[in-house]
Copies of this chain bind each other. A is one copy, B any other.
Amino acid sequence: MLVGLLLTGNFSFAQTAATLPLVSVQGNKFVTAGNKPIVFRGLDTSDPDKLQRDGHWNKEYFEAMKSWGANVVRFPVHPNAWRKQGEQNYIKLLDQGVQWATELGLYVIIDWHSIGNLRSELYQNPMYETTRKETLEFWRTIAKHYKGNTTVALFELFNEPTVMGGQAGTCTWPQWKEIMEELIVIIRANGSQAVPLVAGFNWAYDLTPVYQDPINAQGIAYVSHPYPMKREKPWEPQWALDWGNVAKKYPVILTEIGFCGPDDKGAHVPVISDESYGDAITKYADANGISYTVWVFDPQWAPMLFSDWKFTPTRQGRYFKAALQKYGKQ
């Protein structure tokens, strides 16, 4: 026993007067005050560290996202950027973004943006390198820091779980569940009311294990990233089985959707498609009360939503800007 006088990174977010209503889960819906349902439709930023280097981590960037019709924005925190900046500097970046989001009435998803097998600690490439310990510590830090902050409504625990067909080793669903459940315990014990978001394997595409063996925790939601090339057309019946029917019981949010044409800059598997994908995924999501955010509000990462810092929409940018703006006019 020793009186703890050390600073342990537990510096709190300085809250502003204006706050957004607290988000929680009721049945298969996200709700705010008075159990009012909310469907999230918004945009994925690129890494705040990348935007800072580009000189565009600023309120103008958030105003653009607001003007496109977003009601939520997702911050993908890459583990290598987190380590490079250090906890305190990176959190300052997040605090700035949360502040701008709050001022504009945008909810925030914080996403621990790794890809790979968190059990074996093998990842798709070095930018996604992390450890179980670092991941637990990240969420402990974030949970403590944003305790009581209602803008930061959703915590996406691990971006894209995948064993890469065995190239990244093995992980069973029960092993994955155990890691996710410990994260949820940590987040809540550290005082956070944010809704944990849990993804499945196959790069966050596959939620089929949830039907028989859901995460053992209340008040959470599930994630899928149904990029167009994950399945061949017709997509809808496959989406229903793969992840869509989970939305009958739990809230579901597609935290990455998006497409580009085969000759567009940055075209790569599994995102190559056309507007028919946009039509299908937004129609399917809307019909089932499923939330989504579009990847990615950046002119260099792919599939990009705009092509220059005047926010000139790309092909998918034109599609999703119109789609998002339409909800506001309904």
A residues in contact (CB < 8 Å) with B: 1-4, 6, 8, 120-122, 124-127, 133, 136-137, 140, 160, 164-170, 181-182, 185-186, 188-190, 203, 225, 227, 256, 258, 266, 268, 270-271, 295-296, 301-302
Contacts A1-B295, A133-B121 given; does A127 touch B6 at CB 8 Å: yes
Kindly state the separation between the CA atoms of A170 and B1 in the bound complex, as whole angstroms.
21
Chain B residues near A186 (CB-CB < 8 A): 122, 166-169
CB pair A160–B302 under 8 Å, yes or no, is no
Kindly state the separation between the CA atoms of A201 and B212 in the bound complex, as whole angstroms.
33
A148 to chain B, nearest CB (A): 16
Chain B residues near A1 (CB-CB < 8 A): 160, 203, 225, 227, 256, 258, 270-271, 295-296, 302
Contacts A120-B182, A137-B122 given; does A3 touch B266 at CB 8 Å: yes
Chain B residues near A6 (CB-CB < 8 A): 125-127
Query: Assuming A1-B227, A120-B136, what are 20 further A-B pairs, CB within 8 angstroms?
Result: A1-B295, A1-B296, A3-B301, A3-B302, A4-B124, A6-B127, A8-B126, A121-B136, A122-B133, A122-B137, A122-B140, A140-B167, A140-B168, A164-B189, A165-B189, A166-B186, A167-B189, A169-B182, A169-B186, A170-B182
What are 17 A-B residue pairs whose CB atoms fall within 8 Å in the complex? A1-B225, A1-B270, A1-B295, A1-B296, A1-B302, A2-B301, A2-B302, A3-B268, A8-B125, A122-B136, A122-B186, A136-B169, A164-B189, A166-B188, A167-B186, A169-B182, A169-B185
For A270, give the chain B residue with the smallest CB separation. B1
